[in-house]
Amino acid sequence: MPTVHPTEYACRMTGPETRYLDDTMQDRQGAARPDTGTRIGVAGLFRVLGGNLFLSSLLLCIPFGFVTHFTDQPDWLVFIANFFAILPMAWLIGKSTEDLSAHTGEALGALLNATFGNVVEMLLCVAGIRRNEISIVQCTLVGSILSNMLLVMGTSFLWGGYNNPPPKKMTYSKVGAGAQSTLMLVGVLGLMLPTIYAFMMPAGQEILDISRGCSTLLLLTYVQYLVFSLKTHKDAFEGGGEDSDSDKDGDDDEDAPDMDACTSTVVLACCTVMTAFCSEYLIGSIGGAIDRWHVSKEFIGIIVLPIIGNAAEHYTAIVVAGQNKMDLSLGVAVGSSCQMALMVTPFTVLAGWVLDRPMSLDFHPFQVTVLLLAVLIVANVLKDGESNWLEGSMLVTAYCAIGLIYYCENGEGTSGLQGLA
């Protein structure tokens, strides 16, 4: 009969009695074994906050964001305060969702990750739709996809190549990467068809009906992707890296949740509610920020706003790439792009339908062209199942070129890109 460590046995049990038993055994064993298990209540939350002091310090911006809004401060100050207030809440939403998923079954955990993984972007888009800032919402959706595919994945390849020089290889599953690349092409097709239709044959209600129908199809495609990646072909999205087998035992300890289910739920609920308020204040102050900084709405939507919801994911993808866990890194970068294209974008169209706003898939022709070219570049990079630093540099260069165009665009009158629509 195999010997089971008493602490390991206690961790397999559930309930408050188990936690007490686990803590008691660790006290008896002293400092011989590091404390890597889940903590109950506030202790778990403090452990998370202590793990990233920079993002934790930004929590002080939350009351500042409320104060600037209710005291009628300049719009640019309201924008900055709420921008930095949402950053740490996006991180906590992601962390609490991850820990809560660890305490649930596989199906429920997958549903939680799919629902709350992009909740910040959803809240920003809903706030923009409520204020009829349709162009800002569309730019934010395109910008989130581009930043994940080009900036995040490119930086991950760069950092991974630096930390894993030859003869080490950074490999990943061809099946998983190929499926995600194809899904992105399908997502771009869903955006391009309504855009081209509206550009060639301007219409009113027809384009809304087409967009709502395409959005429903994209959502169904995303559900099929979840079944494919989490059930029928789960192994294709897990293995691949050189060090995946050697690190398997270490990953078990690293993946232990920091917060229990109750604490994770409370943190998730509180941060979601606070993010909803801050998103409203942020979107409402964009006009003043644009006038103050002399930039276009497109630059704010495509370059600036995606940073809010993706900052924590950017950090995670880059760190795990440095550890040569490329499947996990791609799951964060490209997987998040798939979520944005196949779940969040259709969700915003349906949300606009509910709120009686003309939110459609009629994006700007230049935006969908850039999106198509980016997806084709990424699909070509991922086709061989191996990455290197040069590919990362090319992806980052492509993102910088796109950002430069939107930074130089003034967005005024018909001289800007928006005036061509």
Digit-coded pLDDT (tens) for 27-38: 444 444 344 456
The reported pLDDT for the residue numbered 13 is 40
Beta strands in 298-383 (DSSP E): none
Q: What is the DSSP string of 140-208?
A: HHHHHHHIIIIIIHHHHHHHHHHHS-TT--EE--HHHHHHHHHHHHHHHHHHHHHHHHHHHS--SHHHH
Inform me whether the pLDDT recorded for 66 exceeds 90.
yes
Residue 361 per-residue DSSP state: S
The reported pLDDT for the residue numbered 344 is 93
What does the alpha-carbon distance between residue 346 and residue 333 come to, in Å, rounded to a whole number?
A: 19
Q: Give 161 or 250, the one with higher predicted confidence.
A: 161
The reported pLDDT for the residue numbered 417 is 56
Q: What's the predicted TM-score (pTM) here?
A: 0.81
The reported pLDDT for the residue numbered 12 is 39
Packing angle, helices 365-382 and 134-146, rounded to 10: 20
What does the alpha-carbon distance between residue 259 and residue 95 come to, in Å, rounded to a whole number?
A: 9
Tell me which range, 20-29, 86-95, 106-115, 248-257, is most confidently predicted by mean pLDDT.
86-95
- How large is the average pLDDT for residues 346-367? 94
If DSSP codes are grouped into helix, strand and coil, which group holds residue 345? Answer: helix
Q: How confident is the model at residue 357 (pLDDT cuts 50, 70, 90)?
A: very high
**For a pLDDT cut of 90, what percent of the chain falls above it?**
45
Mean pLDDT (the chain) is 82
Q: How confident is the model at residue 241 (pLDDT cuts 50, 70, 90)?
A: very low
Inform me whether the pLDDT recorded for 44 exceeds 50.
yes
Inform me whether the pLDDT recorded for 387 exceeds 80.
yes
What does the alpha-carbon distance between residue 244 and residue 242 come to, in Å, rounded to a whole number?
A: 6
- How large is the average pLDDT for residues 399-418? 74
Beta carbons of 366 and 420 less than 8 angstroms apart: yes
Which of 65-74, 91-100, 181-190, 346-355 is least confident? 91-100
Structure tokens at 269: 């609920």
What does the alpha-carbon distance between residue 100 and residue 258 come to, in Å, rounded to a whole number?
A: 10
The reported pLDDT for the residue numbered 39 is 62
The reported pLDDT for the residue numbered 97 is 83
Q: How confident is the model at residue 154 (pLDDT cuts 50, 70, 90)?
A: very high
Inform me whether the pLDDT recorded for 202 exceeds 80.
no
Tell me which range, 22-26, 37-41, 63-67, is most confidently predicted by mean pLDDT.
63-67
- How large is the average pLDDT for residues 222-241? 76
Please write the tens of the pLDDT for every residue from 260-294. Answer: 889 888 998 999 999 999 999 999 999 888 988 88
The reported pLDDT for the residue numbered 139 is 93
The reported pLDDT for the residue numbered 245 is 47
